[in-house]
Amino acid sequence: MVFDQVGVLADTNTESNQIQQFISGALDRHVTPHQAHNIFRKVLKSTSADKQLSRMPDTVATFADHLVLVIRDQNDVTSGVVIQSAVQRLAFERWGESLCMDWTYGTNNVGFHLATLTKKQHP
C-alpha cells in the first residue's frame, strides 16, 4: 500500500522532501533522502505506465475526502476518470451555482481531455 501511494505522489509531482516525510511516517522510522530516492526509483521502475495509471483511481480514493469516478463502457474499457479533491468539493458546495467549465484548450500533451473550473459573475 505504501508503494502505491508513493506512485501517486510521483504522478502528482510531489516534492521529494514531502515524499521522504510520507515514507518515514508510513514506515514509522527515519528514512534518509537517499533511501527515499531509491524507494521512489524502485516504485517507478517496477510498474509500467499503464499499470500506474490504472492503479491511480483506487489509490486516490483511499485518501480522506477525495472522490473518484471511473467511467467504463459495456466492454469494461475505461473511457474516463473524474477525480475530485476535498478542496474542489468545497468549491462546488460554496460556489457551485456560479462555476462553469472551460474547455478552451481541450487536451494535454498526451491527449487527455482537460477542463478548468472558473467562476463567472452573473449580470
CA distance 105 to 113: 9
Of 46, 21, 14, which Cα lies nearest the Cα of 36?
21
The predicted structure's pLDDT at residue 33: 87
Q: What is the mean pLDDT of residues 104-113?
A: 60
The proportion of the chain whose per-residue pLDDT surpasses 70, expressed as a percent, equals 69
Is residue 118 in a domain?
no
pLDDT above 70 for 34: yes
- The residue behind cell 463567472 is 120
pLDDT per position as a tens digit, 63-100: 778 888 888 888 877 777 777 878 878 877 887 666 66
| Assigned domain for 18 exists | yes
State which amino acid sits at residue 75. N
The residues, ordered by sequence, that sit 6+ positions from 102 with a Cβ below 8 Å of its Cβ are 115, 116, 117, 118
How many structural domains comprise the chain? 1
| 3 within some domain | yes
pLDDT (average), residues 20-46: 83
Whether residue 83 contacts residue 68, with contact meaning beta carbons closer than 8 Å, is answered with yes
Within-domain flag for 14: yes
Q: Residue 56 is part of which domain span?
A: 1-62
Provide the whole-model pTM: 0.41
